[in-house]
Amino acid sequence: MDGSGVGMVAESQRHSCRAARALVKPQESHMAKGRKISVVGAGAVGTAVAYAALIRQVANEIALYDINTPKVEAEAADLAHGSHFTGWPHVSGSSDIAVTSGSDIVVITAGAKQNPGQSRLELVRDNARILKAMIPKLVEASPDAIFILVTNPCDVLTMVAQRISGLPTSRVISSGTVLDSSRLRRLIADRARISTASVHASIIGEHGDSEFPMWSVARIGAVPIADYRVNGHQVFPPDVLDDLAHQVMTSAYKVIAGKGATNFAIGLSASRICEAILRDEHSVQPVSSILHGQYGIDGVALSLPSVLGASGVEQVLDTPLSEDEKAKLRASADAILNSFKLVEKEL
């Protein structure tokens, strides 16, 4: 082959390389650049959060921290082995808390396990002690991070973590009723035989036994849920609404009784919260944060529709509630505050 032939081959190879690089750009562009999520706890929930964040391409770095060295290293390796298929984020795992350094978001899933029949509030003492030992180190490693509590009881522990850390309340939040609201929308969509995207309904209050749906503002499309009809028949009469609320409230207990833990759905919901923050979406989700006078409630973490952006909870929406719903919200606040008082002196 003469010199011009060699040049043509080389030029062809350069074009091929540029084409190959162009092919990977769309996949990479979906990922939040320069963003790191650390997940504390490599159990069923923590690994589900990390896996969901991986496949949703939420961040370009995911770190797992757990005191069980073989476990956390194995889980991180297992996740990393599949990262070729998900946009190539860096995945690491360690029992050294330094692995979390420089995080934009720290998701805390570590804590005592909820046993069948045990309420979330009964877990508060054990998990508050764990946070007391861990939070100062995590804040030192990532002073600018937003902290998301997934460990139950997440509302009380949000108050505990904020008190220990001293961080702004907008940056210490919990997954709250984001998953509960997803459960509700799924049930409504199934009964109405429509897409969940057309269901606008949320669970608010405590992520626990005193949570409740905001039926007064629930909609299917633009239609109030109580007015939704098919062939003239009311699809959601009061007894059906009561049953749906009960199903949502007890759904976690059923899953725990059957498999020992809830993990896949909470992993997806926590990942979705991280996504909204890292992408500065200003999307509305019912996360739990410490309220400042909304509905006459101050200093208690509750779930209400909130605007999520780069700084965490940027606004808690002033959602119209019926008098009955306001009373239920105050009852939720009382339950959470009473539980917080059990550990407040120990902080």
Phi, psi at residue 286, to the nearest 5°?
-85, 60
Known catalytic residue at 84: no
Catalytic residue among 30, 84, 207, 292: 207
Beta bridge partners of 108: 40, 149
Residue 48 in tokens? 């589900």
Query: Is 112 a known ligand-binding residue?
Result: yes
Query: Is 233 a known ligand-binding residue?
Result: no
Query: Is 45 a known ligand-binding residue?
Result: yes
Query: Is 33 a known ligand-binding residue?
Result: no
Query: Is 151 a known ligand-binding residue?
Result: yes
d(CA 237, CA 260): 34
Query: Is 43 a known ligand-binding residue?
Result: yes
**Residue tagged 């059990």 (tokens):** 342
Query: Is 239 a known ligand-binding residue?
Result: no
Ordered DSSP codes for 12-40: HHHHHHHHHHHHHHHHHHTS-TT-EEEEE
d(CA 95, CA 40): 10
Query: Is 282 a known ligand-binding residue?
Result: no
Residue type, 168: P
Query: Is 158 a known ligand-binding residue?
Result: no
* 318-342: burial string, b at 16+ Cβ within 10 Å, e else: ebebeeebeebbbebbebbbebbee
Query: Is 42 a known ligand-binding residue?
Result: yes
Residues making up the annotated binding site are 41-46, 66, 71, 111-112, 114, 120, 127, 150-155, 175, 180-183, 185, 200, 262
Residues making up the annotated binding site for beta-D-fructose 1,6-bisphosphate are 185, 200
Residues making up the annotated binding site for NAD(+) are 41-46, 66, 71, 111-112, 127, 150-152, 175
Catalytic residue IDs: 207
Residues making up the annotated binding site for substrate are 114, 120, 152-155, 180-183, 262
